[in-house]
Chain A
Amino acid sequence: DAGVIQSPRHEVTEMGQEVTLRCKPISGHDYLFWYRQTMMRGLELLIYFNNNVPIDDSGMPEDRFSAKMPNASFSTLKIQPSEPRDSAVYFCASSTPGQGARGYTFGSGTRLTVV
């Protein structure tokens, strides 16, 4: 099992540019989560999907952020336009009910720097 796969690992972009982060969940997991981690705010849930359907996007900071899950094996988080305050590590996680947090697996994250 390759785990949750995120790409790219690092992204440096200029303010105003569009940024797309990608995630491949663990096969068979029907929940997918996007988190953002900063020193000031820690780990924050942005949005999560169940069976490819967005369930709760109340954590998405503003309209510049959007997330999609076109199929069970792929999700994207897009920021357009990006701003320096978006600099953070973005984590994707997937899970399946019934296993508790034991089945909740995080990817290695994408470190985004907006200059």
Chain B
Amino acid sequence: GESVGLHLPTLSVQEGDNSIINCAYSNSASDYFIWYKQESGKGPQFIIDIRSNMDKRQGQRVTVLLNKTVKHLSLQIAATQPGDSAVYFCAENQAGGGADGLTFGKGTHLIIQP
């Protein structure tokens, strides 16, 4: 079946630099995308979402970009901090979110170097 996947398993950045985590999806019917952060020993935590009628959405220190033409999603984290170290997952849903299950990518481990 179609799935959501990530380009890089591990990303190492210097504290204070910006981080970009990428995600490719293959299901053209996907209309809602979400980024989650998972810290060690915890469940995934919502970061930011975007619907398919948008190409950019900003939150606090985070920006999600959606390119529907190439089916690509990215998460940008500005001025990364030690607390940003975690595994980041993209996920997609075809029902607008919350009404049925999410399909997750494999995850990217973000490591912040001091």
B104 to chain A, nearest CB (A): 4
A100–B97 CA distance with the chains assembled, in angstroms: 4
Interface range on chain A (Cβ under 8 Å from partner): 20 to 34
Contacts A96-B98, A101-B97 given; indicate if A43 touches B104 (C-beta within 8 A): yes
- The answer to whether B107 and A48 have CB atoms under 8 Å apart is no
Residues of B within 8 A of A48 (CB): 100-101
- The answer to whether B45 and A101 have CB atoms under 8 Å apart is no
Residue among A43, A96, A103 with most chain B CB within 10 A: A43
A100–B32 CA distance with the chains assembled, in angstroms: 9
**In this complex, what residue of A is CB-closest to B33?**
A101
A99–B50 CA distance with the chains assembled, in angstroms: 13
- The answer to whether B43 and A101 have CB atoms under 8 Å apart is no
Residues of A within 8 A of B34 (CB): 100-101, 104
Interface hits, A79-104 → B, CB 8 Å: 91, 93, 95-104
Question: Contacting chain A: which of B10-18, B67-75, B78-86, B88-96?
Answer: B88-96
**In this complex, what residue of A is CB-closest to B91?**
A101
Residues of A within 8 A of B100 (CB): 31, 48, 55-56
B66 to chain A, nearest CB (A): 14
A105–B36 CA distance with the chains assembled, in angstroms: 11
26 residue pairs bridging A and B, Cβ less than 8 Å apart? A31-B99, A42-B89, A42-B104, A43-B44, A43-B89, A45-B103, A48-B100, A55-B100, A59-B101, A91-B43, A95-B98, A97-B99, A99-B98, A100-B32, A101-B34, A101-B49, A101-B102, A102-B46, A102-B49, A103-B98, A104-B46, A104-B97, A104-B98, A106-B44, A108-B41, A109-B41
